[in-house]
Amino acid sequence: MSTRDYTPLDTALIGLDQALRTIFGRPLVTERPNPTDGLSEIEMSEEQREHTARLMRINHTGEVCAQALYQGQALTAKLPNVRDSMERAAQEENDHLAWCEGRLKEFGNRKSFLNPLWYAGSFAIGAAAGAAGDKWSLGFVAKTEHQVCAHLDDHLEQIPASDQKSRSILEQMREDELHHATVALEHGGAELPGPIKLAMKLTSKVMTQSVYWI
Q: Which domains does the chain have, with CATH numbers?
A: 44-213 (1.20.1260.10)
All residues at 6 or more sequence positions from 96 whose CB lies less than 8 Å from its CB, including other chains:
59, 63, 66, 169, 173, 176
Query: 79-115, pLDDT tens digit by residue?
Result: 666 666 666 777 777 888 889 999 999 999 999 999 9
Element (H, E) at 156: helix 134-158
Element (H, E) at 92: helix 80-106
Element (H, E) at 143: helix 134-158
96 known ligand binder:
yes
Q: What is the mean pLDDT of residues 183-212?
A: 85
DSSP secondary structure, 11-41, as one string: HHHHHHHHHHHHHTS-----SPPPTTTTPPP
Q: How confident is the model at residue 1 (pLDDT cuts 50, 70, 90)?
A: very low
180 known ligand binder:
yes
177 known ligand binder:
yes
* pTM of this structure: 0.83
SS3 200: helix
Q: How confident is the model at residue 11 (pLDDT cuts 50, 70, 90)?
A: low
pLDDT at 131: 77
